[in-house]
Amino acid sequence: MPQDTYILKPREAGATRRWHILDAKGQVLGRLATKAATLLRGKHKPAYTHFVDCGDFVVVTNAAQVKLTGHKLDQKFYFSHSGYAGGAKVTPLRRVMEKDPRKVVYLAVKRMIADNRLRRKQLTRLRIYAGDKHPYAIKEAAIS
């Protein structure tokens, strides 16, 4: 007799959420973003179901001290377009890091999650702080 596949119900997903605190100090940006995206999506859980939002909460601290490999600080650019002719805007990574380093980590994590209806809900559970101070110290006991 074949084994049945377990499919997580949406109402069961919220009951199993945990808090994970990731320290970005000295971590490579891409590897940190991959780990955060995996936790947000819930792919680390045995009951992972791709169409159910079953991920955990993720708090990233020390975003200002994230490590960038190679010459990305000078060579990487963020591109956005307003939709109008001549509306292209190119911003260097260095300028974004000086202005708000949380945005760099946020965009890296966001772009590692599939662009579908669940992404917005999953990203609401992501908290990013430039320094090591955060209001979630009480929840640190629930970290794996």
Instruction: Please give the structure tokens belonging to residue 6.
Output: 């377990």
pLDDT of residue 138: 61
Asked, for residue 72, whether it belongs to a domain, the answer is: no
Q: Which of 22, 27, 62 is nearest to 44 (CA)?
A: 22
Q: What are the distances in angstroms from CA 114 to CA 21, 83, 118, 122?
A: 22, 23, 8, 10
Asked, for residue 1, whether it belongs to a domain, the answer is: no
Alpha-carbon distance of 57 to 61, in angstroms, equals 13
Asked, for residue 89, whether it belongs to a domain, the answer is: no
Asked, for residue 132, whether it belongs to a domain, the answer is: yes
pLDDT of residue 10: 81
Q: Which of 100, 110, 108 is nearest to 64 (CA)?
A: 100
Asked, for residue 4, whether it belongs to a domain, the answer is: no
For residue 77, what are the β-bridge partners?
Answer: 92
Asked, for residue 9, whether it belongs to a domain, the answer is: no
For residue 127, what are the β-bridge partners?
Answer: 59
Alpha-carbon distance of 84 to 80, in angstroms, equals 11
Asked, for residue 83, whether it belongs to a domain, the answer is: no
pLDDT of residue 108: 97
Instruction: Please give the structure tokens belonging to residue 27.
Output: 């971590």
Q: Tell me the average confidence (pLDDT) per consecutive run of 10 residues in the chain, 144 residues long.
A: 79 83 95 97 90 93 95 95 96 96 97 95 96 75 47
105-115 pLDDT, tens per residue? 999 999 999 99
CATH code at 124? Answer: 3.90.1180.10
Parallel, antiparallel or unpaired: strands 77-81 and 88-92: antiparallel
Which residues form the domain of 119?
A: 15-67+101-137
pLDDT of residue 113: 96
How many domains in the chain?
1
Asked, for residue 7, whether it belongs to a domain, the answer is: no
Residue with tokens 């702080």: 129
pLDDT of residue 141: 46
pLDDT of residue 104: 97
